[in-house]
Amino acid sequence: MNTDHIDNILVVDDDRDIRMGVVDYLRKNGLRASAAVDGRDMFAQLETSAFDLVVLDIMMPGDDGLVLCRTLRAGKHHALPILLLTARDDETDRIIGLEMGADDYVVKPFSPRELLARIKAVIRRTRMLPPNLRITETIDTVSFGRWRLDTTARHLLDESGTIVPLSGAEFRLLRVFLDHPQRVLSRDQLLNLTQGRDAELFDRSIDLLVSRLRTRLEDNAKDQSYIKTVRSEGYVFSMPISVHGDAA
């Protein structure tokens, strides 16, 4: 990665004040940013300059954010990270947004600081994972051992179809493991990749989180058939995985 690179963000919102406010804030915080008033404007700008992430408002006249999100994912900009601005704190909007291929979402009214943190987190996550390994972001259901992970609803299903919920951190950790099967991941790497939207995890908490996840998977600490501890190196997800559902 080029260290001189400054991330370039495209902000798409029909509300002038919000659009410009966000652009100003991002610029003030050392990023490059441009504004687009609607979908057509967005596609025009994507043609002329390279962007690292698009901030997309869902509630827009004409083509709304969800439609634009799907169009982006279907076209040549399919790898471009997308962050949605939703007007409601609603589970359905979140799930639909993620199903449409968005990488994350922020609920209005948001604080610009929160938005900046999310933008950075999404960019970091995308950079760290080669696109072909991001199984959990493109696949609905991932199977391993006796479990299935629903990546949009963010919970496990056992053989009988009973839902076994995961905490936010557990889900993020499992996702990291499933994205890197059979690869030893250091605590630092895990910590970095598992970093949540709300919480800053502490170093020691990775061990705790792994142990919780093992309990959740009913993975015996002795057998370690799902997650193996690699002494002084970290952890490896050793259970073979298979995927179902459409690659977006």
Partner 1 sequence: MSRSAFLTPERWLPRSMASRVYLIILVGLMLAQGLSFALMFYERYDSATTTMLNTVEHEVGTSVAVLDRLPAAERADWLGRLQRDNYRFLLGQGQPGTPLATERSREVARRIEAEVGPDYHVQAETISMAPERYQVHFTLHDGSSLTLEVAPRGVPPVAQWLPIVLALQLVLLLACTWLAVRLVVRPLAQLARASEAMTPTADGPRMSEAGPVEVAQAAVAFNLMRERIARHLKERLHILASISHDLQTPITRMRLRAESLDEGEEREKILRDLHEMEHLVREGVAYARSAHGGAETPVRMDVKAFLESLVFDYQDVGKAVTLAESVGGATLVRAQALRRVLGNLIDNAVKYGGSAEVSSRRSEEGALCIAVCDRGPGIPEDQLDQVLQPFYRVEGSRNRDTGGAGLGLAIATQLTRAIGGSLQLSNRQGGGLAAIVTLP
Interface with partner 1 (CB under 8 A): 15, 17-18, 21-22, 24-25, 28, 87-91, 107-113, 158, 160-170, 196, 198-199, 201, 205, 212, 216
CB of 22 to partner 1, least distance (A): 7
Of 46 and 193, CB closest to partner 1: 193
Cα separation of 157 and 221, whole Å?
21
Of 87 and 221, CB closest to partner 1: 87
Of 160 and 232, CB closest to partner 1: 160
Beta bridge partners of 184: 236
For helices 168-179 and 205-216, give the axis angle rounded to 10 degrees: 90
Residue 163 backbone zone (phi > 0: left; psi -120 to 50: alpha; other: beta): beta
CB of 48 to partner 1, least distance (A): 26
CB of 218 to partner 1, least distance (A): 10
Cα separation of 239 and 237, whole Å?
6
Of 41 and 150, CB closest to partner 1: 150
CB of 96 to partner 1, least distance (A): 14
Of 184 and 199, CB closest to partner 1: 199
- The beta-strand segments (E) located in the chain are 8-12, 32-36, 53-57, 82-86, 104-107, 141-144, 147-150, 155-157, 163-165, 184-185, 227-230, 234-237, 241-244
CB of 156 to partner 1, least distance (A): 8
Length of the chain: 248
